[in-house]
Structure formats: C-alpha cells, structure tokens
Amino acid sequence: MKRRLVTVLSLAVLALAGCSTSTPGSQTADRSGTTRGVTADSVKVGGLIIKTSSFGVSETATEIGAKARFDRANAEGGVNGRKIDFIGTEDDGADQAKDITAARKLVQQDEVFAVVPVHTFMFAGAKFLQQQNVPYFGWGYSAPEWCGPAVAFSFDGCSGSAQPGTQSAGFFAAFTKATGPAKGRTVAVIGHDDPNTRAVNKIARASASRLGFKVVTVQNTVPQTSIPTDWSPYVNRLTKSDAGKAPDIVFSTMATPFNAGLFGALKDSGYKGTLMDGISYNDSTLKNPQVRKAFEGAYISAPIEPLVSDSAAARQMRTDLEKATGQKNFEWSQDMAVGYATADVFLQILEKTGKDLTTENFLKAAKNITVQSPYGGTVSWPANHEAPNGCQSLVRVENGGWKLAAPLTCQTFDFKG
C-alpha cells in the first residue's frame, strides 16, 4: 500500500520542501572548508527511514541491512583507505515535516557526506538534499524524488514513475520463468480505488499483456482506508471475470493485510487458481496461522535477491546479517535487503571515485557508471535516473515457509501510457 500512496504525496512534498532558501551546492563543505563528512580515514553517512508511524508501518530493518553491508566493507579495510562511519538512521515518523527536519539534521548537524539508506514514502526532505547537493541512496519507488535529480540514486532505478516510457516487466517475466509460458493463461488484476493504484495497475496490465498473458479484468474497487469485512462481492466479480468463469491468475497490488483477507476468501470460495502479490516477502507475513494459510501456494515478488536463494550473493548477505543482528535465526524482512542493496550501490560508486573524495568527484564518477549488484540487479546512470532496471525475483509460500521460485530477473518494456 505504501508504494501506491507515494506519487500524490510526492507532489505535496515538493511544494513544502521548496520553502528552503538555501542555494544548490551551498553545503558541500563543512565549517573547516573540507568536504562535509570526509576525513583522511573515514566517510560519514546516515539514513532517513520510517521507524515509527501512527498506522503501524516501520522500515527499521532497512537500517540493519545497510549496517550489515557497511560492516563487511569496514572489515575488509574500507574503501580507498576510508572506513564507513555509519551513524544510523533518522526516523521521520512517516510525517512530511519531520522528514524535512531529519534531512536538515543529517546535513547541518551530523554533517554526513551522503544520506544512505533512504526508505520512506514521506520523503519531503528530498528537495532540501537536492538544493544542498547531497547524494542520497535508497529504493526508488517514489517519484519524483528518485527520477531525474543528479544526486538521487536508487538501487533499482526510477521505479515509481507511471509515465509513458520504460517500465518494469520483471514481475511477470520472473513468473513465466517459474511457471512456464504466458500464452493461453488469463489474469485478473485487483487493487485499491485510488488514482495511484489505477496507474500501477495500468502498467501491470500492459506488462502482463506484453509477455503474452490475457488480462481479463482490472478492478480498482477496494477502499484503501479500511480492510473489507466482507470480501464476497470482490470474490464474485473476480471468479466470473473470464467470461463467467475464474481466471487462471489473480494478481493483487494491495498490501499484505488486504491480500490475506482476499486470498483467504478466494480459497474459501473454491478458487483453485494462482494467487500473486508484490509486497509481502517478510517473515512476519507467515507468523499468523490464518494469514499463513491464506498465502499458502501464493507467489510473491521482490526487487531484491531473495534470502532463500542459494546464490553466492544470498549466502553472503545472510552471513553479514547474522553478524549485524547477532542472531543465527534472525527474523527476515525484505527491508533488510533493501538497505543492503542500497549500501552496496553507494560503496561501488565510492570505490570508483578514488581517494580524492569530494562531492563533485563523487557525482562525476556516478555520471557514467554501471553498478552490477547481485543484490538488486544491474543499474546504470544516467539511464536509470529516468527508468527502472526492471529487476524482480519471485518466492512462493510452500508448507508455511518461503521457497525460491525464480532468481532476480530483469526485463523492461516500452509503456505507451
């Protein structure tokens, strides 16, 4: 659900953040005249995320993921002779005003070189960071904060824009890799009744159709403000959407609590098709027995390499997260990989910059770079300031646990709008 809210919120954010009177580039140096956050043997970074909110959303695990990657870099001697001084993350409380205050604190008080990681859909502080010429790194599901600015770096590119142009086909591409060709299979798409979800679902329709699926319906009918207590009207429409019969696949773009209700109701109705979701790859999803039952057999995509993969990257990430959490059997959250992948991209650009680390040299190094990250896929700039990298992996719930269905798969298509 948080992804769907972000486009409208971003527009309000820009107006609010635009009140700053600072000039671009005015804070690239600290009070001593040297590059802000940089010493001979360290570079200081800090993040900006949602840790607490009035509606229960928390991205705290993003900080753990970033710390795990930075800890490994430091254990290996740092980058170009400098250790990463990671001061942790600021909590914006999912509040626009607090986000601006937190961004200002990171730059003006903490004097960080870059803001890493960013994981919030209330990113009002983005405008301030752009004005101050401060590089920021995170997950680019929110436009326009990640789409266009030279200081903005998302590990999966500009993935939040619903404008015509390059869009991701990674979700359905990974699904065909896991389950076979699309031809002859029908899809019903369901989501919330708001403009942002309509835009998201329009892209989903185009992506599925481009790969050969027949999309029989797109239903933006579920209220975003409350979870329905009676799912039967939605179930009835979905199960008759393919000329009076049920589609092969139901793909929901809603958040986990909504999907748990819908998937459970579909199963109770006797639906035997495939259920798909793009947000719920977290251990917490499977804690509740009823929710676990609803998700059993469902396919869920993620923009990162799944921890359940047997790839070298997944094994390395698990090892680093065990050290960072101090637990062999830590509770996995997709946000951990978001933080980890974000930190990895920052480190690769930092390495390319060399020992003469200034904001100018860093941004110059990032201008024409291809970062091949096994954690979030290949991303290049300037191309991915305007387009997503199209990378998605796929997991499935089997016997109450996560199983790899398809590794990180990258594919894009030309979206006509």
Q: What is the pLDDT of residues 204-216, one digit of tens each?
A: 999 999 999 999 9
> Does the pLDDT value for residue 20 go beyond 60?
no
Q: Which amino acid is at 14?
A: L
CA dihedral in degrees (60, 62, 66, 71; nearest 10)? 50
| Structure confidence by residue, pLDDT tens digits, 318-338 | 999 999 999 999 999 999 999
- Cβ-based burial of 192 (10 A; exposed 0-12, middle 13-18, buried ≥19): buried
Q: What is the pLDDT of residue 18?
A: 32
pLDDT tens, position by position, 130-184 = 999 999 999 988 668 999 999 999 999 998 888 899 999 999 999 999 999 999 9
Whether residue 278 lies inside any domain: the answer is: yes
Please report the beta strands in 201-287, taking only residues with DSSP state E, as ranges in sequence order.
Answer: 214-222, 249-252, 274-277
User: Is there a domain that residue 283 lies in?
Assistant: yes
Verify that 77 and 119 share a domain, yes or no. Answer: yes
Number of domains the chain is built from: 2
**Is residue 67 one of the residues assigned to a domain?**
yes
How far is residue 171's CA from residue 5's CA, in Å, rounded to a whole number?
20
Same domain, 8 and 63: yes
Three-class secondary structure of residue 40 per DSSP: coil
pLDDT single digits (tens) 51-92: 998 877 789 999 999 999 999 999 999 999 999 999 999 999
Q: Are residues 378 and 411 in the same domain?
A: no
Looking at the fold, whether 126 and 233 belong to one and the same domain comes out as no
For residues 146-159, one letter each, b for 16 or more C-beta atoms within 10 angstroms of the residue's C-beta and e for the rest, the string is bbebebbbbbbbbb
Token pair belonging to 353: 């910059």
Q: Which CATH number do you get for residue 230?
A: 3.40.50.2300
Distance, CA of 386 to CA of 146 (rounded, Å): 9
The predicted model gives 243-247 an average pLDDT of 98
What pLDDT is recorded for position 375? 95
Q: What 3-state class would DSSP assign to 116?
A: strand
Residues 170 and 252 occupy one common structural domain? yes
Same structural domain, 374 and 404: no
DSSP 3-state of 113: coil
Give a yes or no: residue 88 inside a domain.
yes
295 and 277 fall within a common domain:
yes
**Residue 308: inside a domain:** no
Phi-psi region of 239 (alpha: psi -120 to 50; beta: other; left: phi over 0): alpha
User: Can you tell me which residue has the tokens 């923009």?
Assistant: 303
- Assess whether pLDDT exceeds 50 at residue 24: no
* pLDDT for 33: 52
Q: What is the pLDDT of residue 13?
A: 30
Q: Provide CB contacts within 8 A for 246, sequence distance 6+.
A: 238, 239, 240, 271, 272, 273
In a domain, 307, yes or no: no
As a whole number, mean pLDDT of residues 349-370 equals: 97
379 and 406 inside one domain: no
Q: Is residue 310 part of a domain?
A: no
The answer for residues whose C-beta is within 8 angstroms of residue 21's C-beta and 6 or more apart is none
Examine the domain organization and report whether 125 and 253 are in the same domain: no
Say whether both 140 and 228 belong to one domain. no
Residue 28's pLDDT is 53
Record the tokens describing residue 130, joined without a space.
């752009």
Question: Does 242 fall in a domain?
Answer: yes
| Same structural domain, 200 and 92 | no
Domain that residue 187 falls in:
165-302+393-415
Q: What is the mean pLDDT of the chain?
A: 91
Confidence check: pLDDT of 31 > 80: no
Q: What is the pLDDT of residue 58?
A: 86
Give percent of the chain above pLDDT 90: 84
Closest by Cα among 102, 137, 101, 133 to 118:
137
Lowest mean pLDDT among 52-66, 86-100, 197-211, 358-372: 52-66
- Beta bridge mates, 136: 115, 152
Task: Specify the pLDDT at position 142.
Answer: 67
Give CB contacts under 8 A, 24+ apart, made by 323-331: 323/68, 323/71, 324/64, 324/65, 324/67, 324/68, 324/71, 325/64, 325/68, 331/283, 331/284
| pLDDT at residue 9 is higher than 50 | no
Lowest mean pLDDT among 3-12, 100-109, 227-236, 269-278: 3-12
The pLDDT of residue 188 is above 80: yes
pLDDT band at 196 (very low <50, low <70, confident <90, very high): confident
State whether 175 and 251 are in the same domain.
yes
Higher pLDDT, 395 or 24: 395
Helix (H) or strand (E) holding 91: strand 83-91
Q: Which of 290, 191, 225, 222 is nearest to 55 (CA)?
A: 225
Q: What is the pLDDT of residue 242?
A: 98
